[in-house]
Amino acid sequence: MANTEERIRRLQNRLAELRSSASYPNNCEAIARVDVQLAQIYASNGNTLQYQDYIEDAIRTLQDPMCPKGQRTESMIRSLEYYKDKPQLLAASNIPGIYRYLSLIVLLVGYLVVILLNEFMKSVFTENDLIGGIVVVFVLSMIINFAVRGRATRKASQQQYR
């Protein structure tokens, strides 16, 4: 909880800096992004009033006449309008690093095992076996990544609604 409060405080300080800077019109998208990050934190904590305040603040910032209009700005406004009344969709769920990088770890270890097996057992393995082993490791890493990430995401969303 202290980590969340610290992050909120840092983002609010960043927001105040961006709003008070002389280049405010050029920082509209950055200000809106910080507002969205704050809204995500409040949505994940279940504080829907603060969530809606920050989303509306982001929309007002992007619609400010001083801010330059562009395709990206209009796209952000449309997205924020969609998410305004749906805090559960925008709630931030942090996935631990091990789940994010598990696929790369499996690839690295798997390729290392395949290469070592090929080196030490040249009489048993052929070139086709090496290529097949690499393909198997690649497919296995993708399957593990989808399974573990899906489970972690479901677990995080279940904890969020408790």
Q: Who contacts 38 (Cβ-Cβ below 8 Å, separation ≥6)?
A: 8, 11, 12, 15, 50, 54
Q: What angle do CA 21, 54, 48 make, to 5 degrees?
A: 160
Q: Who contacts 92 (Cβ-Cβ below 8 Å, separation ≥6)?
A: 37, 40, 41, 43, 44
- Contact, 35 vs 41, CB < 8 A? no
Strands (E), 1-74: none
- Contact, 32 vs 62, CB < 8 A? yes
| pLDDT tens digits for range 36-80 | 888 888 887 778 888 888 899 989 988 888 888 888 888 888 888
Q: What is the pLDDT of residue 84?
A: 78
| pLDDT tens digits for range 92-104 | 556 677 777 888 8
Statement: residue 6 has pLDDT above 60: yes
Domain ranges of the chain: 2-90, 97-160
